[in-house]
Amino acid sequence: MGKEKTHINIVVIGHVDSSKSTTTGHLIYKCGGIDKRTIETFEKEAAEMGKGSFKYAWVLDKLKAERERGIGTVPVGRVETGVLKPGMVVTFALVNVTTEVKSVEMHHEALSEALPGDNVSFNVKNVSVKDVHRDNVADDSKNEPPMEAAGFTAQVIILNHPGQISAGYAPVLDCHTAHIACKFAELKEKIDRHSGKKSWKMVPSS
């Protein structure tokens, strides 16, 4: 649409088959968002299918299809190590999907590179949203792929807890986008929060 026109937001609400798409498509056409030749093409195609009144409704379908083709899939996450740049070829573990990074953004601003600690979104094409999932890890395809771990050693700071925590305790872990149950297999040591000294006395299992 022309730059001289005022930008406004409109919400069209209605029940199923109440001509929401037709009304919105007609408005886009009247405001100059779709040229006459395109509307005539839609009208011809709709008439051939016996749905002549659908010509304006198809405006939204056409725009949606073009947006989906142009945008591709946009994963989001935090850069843990290394650098993420447009043009890099990355592999998603553990699904083993390889693709090229088309662009990188943070707060809707394009970046030439993303560094550790940056929370970013990055555009990849020819990858369906069904191919990658939450908790997948993207890595430079030149490196060895990230491996899944059955366990890890962590230092835990307990701020408040109503009962005793011992081996076998099973909390829910939230880490980045992960939300998964885990279990304390072994409590190795206790550290005094004031002195920093370690107590090697084993904590009994529950």
The answer as to whether 4 is a domain residue is no
The answer as to whether 15 is a domain residue is no
> If you compute the radius of gyration of the chain from its CA atoms, what whole number of angstroms results?
27
Q: Are residues 171 and 203 in the same domain?
A: yes
pLDDT of residue 3: 56
CA distance 66 to 123: 16
The 10s digit of each residue's pLDDT in 107-136 is: 888 999 999 999 999 999 888 888 998 889
pLDDT of residue 69: 53
Q: Are residues 171 and 204 in the same domain?
A: yes
Between 149 and 68, the higher pLDDT residue: 149
In this prediction the pTM is 0.54
**Distance, C-alpha 36 to centroid of its chain:** 37
The answer as to whether 14 is a domain residue is no
Between 167 and 43, the higher pLDDT residue: 167
Q: Are residues 59 and 80 in the same domain?
A: no
As beta bridge partners, residue 122 has: 104
Q: Are residues 105 and 55 in the same domain?
A: no
Average pLDDT for 45-65: 71
The candidate with the shortest Cα–Cα distance to 183, out of 194, 198, 173, 196, is 173
The answer as to whether 125 is a domain residue is yes
Q: What total number of domains does the chain contain?
A: 3
Q: Are residues 64 and 80 in the same domain?
A: no
Q: Are residues 26 and 48 in the same domain?
A: yes
Range of the domain at 83: 76-140
Between 11 and 136, the higher pLDDT residue: 136
Q: Are residues 59 and 31 in the same domain?
A: yes
The answer as to whether 6 is a domain residue is no
pLDDT of residue 205: 52
Q: Of 140, 162, 179, which marks where a domain is finished?
A: 140
Q: For residue 81, name the pLDDT band (cuts at 50, 70, 90).
A: very high
Which CATH number goes with the domain that contains 192? 2.40.30.10
Q: Are 62 and 24 in contact (CB under 8 A)?
A: no
Average pLDDT for 159-168: 87
Q: Are residues 120 and 169 in the same domain?
A: no
pLDDT of residue 162: 87
CA distance 120 to 100: 16
The answer as to whether 12 is a domain residue is no
Tokens 């370690």: give the residue. 198
Backbone phi, psi, residue 198, to 5°:
-95, 140
pLDDT of residue 1: 44
Q: Are residues 169 and 191 in the same domain?
A: yes
Q: Are residues 60 and 82 in the same domain?
A: no
The answer as to whether 104 is a domain residue is yes
- The mean of the pLDDT values for the chain is 82
The candidate with the shortest Cα–Cα distance to 25, out of 3, 58, 71, is 58
**CA separation (Å) from 78 to 82, 153, 167, 187?**
11, 22, 31, 29
The answer as to whether 41 is a domain residue is yes
Average pLDDT for 74-98: 93
Q: Are residues 52 and 88 in the same domain?
A: no
Residue 198 has pLDDT above 60, yes or no: yes
